[in-house]
Structure 1
Amino acid sequence: MLDDASKSIFYALLSAFFAALTTIFAKIGVEAINPNLATAIRTVVILVMVWSWVLVRGEFDTFLAITPKTLLFLVFSGLSTGLSWLFYFRALQVGKASLVAPLDKSSLVLVLVFSVLFLQEPLTLKIFLGTSLILIGTLVVIL
């Protein structure tokens, strides 16, 4: 059985794989329609898929136990995700996926800063160097 660190790496790699597919599918999907409509369609698909997942796994019973603080931050996360998707689809419609995706992933630098400032996560040399290399790679792609 995998430990928590190994599980997090496994799930993060799955996330990266599906995020890559998302970019390719989205680029093709927004070629001929308004990106806001494309985002709305995508959102409905996600809504149905994720609620189905929750219901099939029997996880809805904890819904009423959600604290107001948790709900508030999930709403903030949802709003941030929605805005991110709207701007991402607009960028994909007018730009190359090979340029848009690395720029989108430059959010990793902000995650590093925010995680240190707001979550009090440690800034290790390994994390700093890895994030710096991602930033350098992004700059190489866009310049």
Structure 2
Amino acid sequence: MISSSNWLLWALLSAVFAAMTAIFAKIGIQGVDSDLATLVRTGFIVVILSLFVVMAGKWTNPLNLSGKTWVFLGLSGLATGASWVCYFRALQIGDASKVAPVDKLSLVLVAIFAFAFLGERPIAREWAGIALVAAGVVLLALKR
């Protein structure tokens, strides 16, 4: 069983599933409007995650969550939805091997936003890695 406290393993699994998402989505959106495809995908996510939460015994009344939690989870949901709409549109018109890495520019933005808003302070080595990711995105995005 996977330890629930091993963040690196969970992050690597997230990367694997994100990669599979890009490939499956690229195949699935052929001949389908990208916004409709996003809606269908979201429906699957709602059903599967709902089953997981209930079957894992993690269901609690969401109305008991704080107002702050509702606001920030709502904002996160809006950002996720906007990201998915943009991602599927980009996948529909671009190569998955280029779209997905450019989408991961979010890694650079997360580091910058976490520095600015959460007080996180990456060390020089970590900033160097973040800069390399940014440089890789630029190289991928450049026209031939």
Query: Is the pair's TM-score, using the shorter chain for normalization, greater than 0.5?
Result: yes
**SS of corresponding position for 1:88:** helix
- 1:131 aligns with 130
Counterpart mapping for 1:32-47 below 5 A: 32-47=31-46
2-side partners of 1:3 and 1:89: how far apart?
A: 30
Q: Does 1:52 align with 2:51?
A: yes
Identity among equivalent pairs (%): 45
2-side partners of 1:73 and 1:3: how far apart?
A: 24
Q: Structure 1 residues 3 and 101, CA, compared in 2 at 3 Å: closer, same or farther?
A: closer
1-side partners of 2:33 and 2:81: how far apart?
A: 16
- 1:25 aligns with 24
- 1:110 aligns with 109
1-side partners of 2:141 and 2:34: how far apart?
A: 22
Q: Structure 1 residues 139 and 61, CA, compared in 2 at 3 Å: closer, same or farther?
A: same
- 1:140 aligns with 139
Query: Which stretches in structure 2 are left out of the alignment for 5+ residues?
Result: none
- 1:119 aligns with 118
- 1:99 aligns with 98
2-side partners of 1:124 and 1:41: how far apart?
A: 41
2-side partners of 1:70 and 1:49: how far apart?
A: 23
- 2:72 aligns with 73
Larger deviation, residues 53-62 vs 28-37:
53-62
2-side partners of 1:83 and 1:16: how far apart?
A: 20
CA RMSD of aligned residues (A): 1.5
**What is the identity, as a one-letter code, of the residue corresponding to 2:107?**
L
Counterpart mapping for 1:79-94 below 5 A: 79-94=78-93
**What is the identity, as a one-letter code, of the residue corresponding to 2:59?**
F
1:40-75 per-position Cα deviation (integer Å, ceiling 9, x unaligned): 000000000111111001111253431110111001
1:71-129 per-position Cα deviation (integer Å, ceiling 9, x unaligned): 11001000000000001000000010011011100111110110011111112112201
TM-score normalised by L of structure 1? 0.93
The alignment covers a number of residue pairs equal to 141
